[in-house]
Chains A and B, each alone.
Chain A
Amino acid sequence: MDATIFTDIFGYYTAILPMLLILVGALVMPAVYMFTRKKMAVTIASLAFLIASAVVNIIMLHYIDSLGDYIYFGSEDAPYCGIFMYTSFAGLLILLFQVVAFFAILVSGVSSEVTKLHFGAYGALMLIATAGMMFVVSSTDLIGIFVGVEAVSISSYALVTLKRRDPRAAEAGVKYVIIGGLSTALTIYGISMIYGALGTIDLAVIGAKTHDPDFTYSWAFIIGIVTMMAGYGFKIAAAPFHMWAPDVYEGAATPVSLFLATGSKKMGLAVFFKIFLFMFVGVTAVKVEPVQYLFAIVAAVSMTVGNVVAIAQNNIKRMLAYSSIAQAGYILIAMAVMTPYALTGGLFHMFTHVFMKGGAFLIVGALICAGVGEKISDYNGLAKRNPLLAFAMMIFLFSLAGVPPLAGFTSKFVLFSGAIYNDGVMSQWIWLAFIAILNSAISLYYYVRVIKAMYIERPAKGADQKLAIGKVFGFAIAVCAIAVVVLGVYPDIILDPCATAANDLLHWWM
Chain B
Amino acid sequence: MNQLIPIEYFLTFGAILFVIGAYGVMAKPNTLIVLMCTELMLNAANINFIAFSAFMGDAYGQVMVIMTISVAAAEVAVGIAILLNAYKVRKSTNADDLTSMRW
Q: B79 within 8 Å of A by Cβ?
A: yes
Taking CB atoms, residues of chain A closer than 8 Å to B5 are: none
Taking CB atoms, residues of chain B closer than 8 Å to A415 are: none
- Is the pair B52, A247 in contact by a Cβ cutoff of 8 Å? no
Interchain CA distance A378-B100 in the complex, whole Å: 20
- Is the pair B52, A192 in contact by a Cβ cutoff of 8 Å? yes
- Is the pair B86, A168 in contact by a Cβ cutoff of 8 Å? no
Interchain CA distance A180-B82 in the complex, whole Å: 13
Chain B nearest Cβ from A149, distance in angstroms: 9
Given known contacts A150-B75, A165-B89, A250-B101, A174 and B18 CB-to-CB distance under 8 angstroms: no
Chain B nearest Cβ from A172, distance in angstroms: 7
Taking CB atoms, residues of chain A closer than 8 Å to B21 are: 185
What is the number of residues of chain B that contact chain A, defined by CB distance less than 8 Å? 45
- Is the pair A174, B78 in contact by a Cβ cutoff of 8 Å? no
Interface centre among B56, B68, B74 (most CB of A within 10 A): B68
- Is the pair B41, A177 in contact by a Cβ cutoff of 8 Å? no
Q: A193 within 8 Å of B by Cβ?
A: yes
Stretch from A51-59, A195-203, A502-510 at the B interface: A195-203
Interchain CA distance A147-B74 in the complex, whole Å: 11
Taking CB atoms, residues of chain B closer than 8 Å to A177 are: 35, 75, 78-79, 82-83
- Is the pair B45, A178 in contact by a Cβ cutoff of 8 Å? no
Q: A408 within 8 Å of B by Cβ?
A: no
- Is the pair A185, B38 in contact by a Cβ cutoff of 8 Å? yes
Q: Chain B residues in contact with chain A, CB under 8 A?
A: 11, 14, 18, 21-22, 25, 31, 34-35, 38, 41-42, 44-46, 48-49, 51-52, 56, 58, 60-61, 63-64, 67-68, 71, 74-75, 78-79, 81-83, 85-86, 88-90, 93, 98, 100-101, 103
Q: Chain A residues in contact with chain B, CB under 8 A?
A: 143, 146-147, 150, 153-154, 157-158, 161, 164-168, 170-175, 177-178, 180-182, 184-186, 188-189, 191-193, 195-196, 199-201, 246-247, 250-251, 309, 312
Known: A168-B100, A182-B38. 13 other contacts (CB 8 A): A157-B82, A158-B78, A164-B85, A167-B89, A173-B82, A174-B82, A174-B83, A185-B41, A189-B45, A192-B46, A196-B51, A250-B101, A309-B103
